[in-house]
Amino acid sequence: MKMTAFDRDKIKNIFKKRILKAYQVRVIDDIDIYKNTLDPFSAVLDAKLLNKDIQSWIDDIETPRQTQKSIQNILGEVHQEIIGTVNGWTDLGTGMIIDVENSSKKIIGEIKNKHNTTKGNHKKSIYDDLESALNNTYKDYTGYCVEILPKNGQTYNKLFTPPDNVTKKNRPENKKIRLIDGKSFYEMVTGEENALEQLYNEFPSLIDEILSEEYENYSPNSLGKMKDYIFEKVFPKE
């Protein structure tokens, strides 16, 4: 599948620093599992349940888990930056209330990587941020809370009415404040239905290209058929 929804050189530039950092974490560095205060009670319980001694649990379970978590964190705001490369869209950077905007389409978005990244009682803050932006800087715009990875492979573009854990009531319906999955938002951004799949399919070759340019001993490998399977589990074909 040819990548037509994005400028490949721009996408490569966005991924480069992250891929090199991830390689450093995964292949070169030794992770310090005690850096973020390892829970010894949890360690003992999990080791017992898995019938492992503590050293084996550290080597087989905890170190890979923390390494994977570090790699996930490295990707960080990557979708925000990628969307900012598309014509008409602007990445507003970190530290801003709103992540991306399109002035011609009158759209703003706050982007979260996964549907459960933000706790339920914090989602009302996203609503409030969008409402404030729409009432001030972005009048006549539509604001989206974007969940790149949706729950149970769902696609949606619906009213966003998160609950308030203090008042026990949901935020009121506002046709200009919406919740949308990543696949649908990428289609909205690029005009191409399979834009997110294009990005995913190009990712392995970008990784190989970047690491081969940086490390002479890097040897590309095949990911096998499961590569497509895991994408389709998160984003089922309709």
The pLDDT score that the predictor gives to residue 162 is 93
Residue pair 120/163 in contact (Cβ under 8 Å)? The answer is: yes
Residue 183 pLDDT greater than 70, yes or no: yes
The pLDDT score that the predictor gives to residue 76 is 83
The pLDDT score that the predictor gives to residue 118 is 61
Helix, strand or coil, per DSSP, at residue 90: strand
Q: Residues 6 or more apart from 234 whose CB is under 8 A from it?
A: 149, 150, 153
- Percent of the chain predicted with pLDDT > 90: 79
Residue 104 pLDDT greater than 90, yes or no: yes
Residue 60: pLDDT band with limits 50, 70, 90: very high
Query: Quick one: CA dihedral 8, 10, 13, 15, positive or negative?
Result: negative
- Measure Cα distances from 135 to 130, 138, 140, 163, 176 in Å: 9, 7, 9, 21, 11
pLDDT tens for 111-150 read 999 877 666 668 899 999 999 999 999 999 999 999 999 9
The alpha carbon of residue 31 and the mean position of all alpha carbons in its chain are separated, in whole angstroms, by 23
The pLDDT mean for the chain works out to 93
Residue pair 177/149 in contact (Cβ under 8 Å)? The answer is: no
The pLDDT score that the predictor gives to residue 92 is 95
Token pair, residue 91, equals 């990445």
Q: Which DSSP category does 151 fall into? A: G
Distance (Å, whole) CA 187 – CA 142:
16
Helix, strand or coil, per DSSP, at residue 106: coil
pTM for this prediction: 0.90
The pLDDT score that the predictor gives to residue 136 is 94
- Percent of the chain predicted with pLDDT > 70: 97
Distance (Å, whole) CA 96 – CA 92:
7
Residue 152 pLDDT greater than 70, yes or no: yes
Minimum mean pLDDT range among 45-54, 83-92, 163-172, 207-216: 163-172
Distance (Å, whole) CA 86 – CA 28:
34
Residue pair 162/126 in contact (Cβ under 8 Å)? The answer is: yes
Q: Residues 6 or more apart from 13 whose CB is under 8 A from it?
A: none
The pLDDT score that the predictor gives to residue 165 is 82
Domain segments of the chain: what residues?
A: 78-190
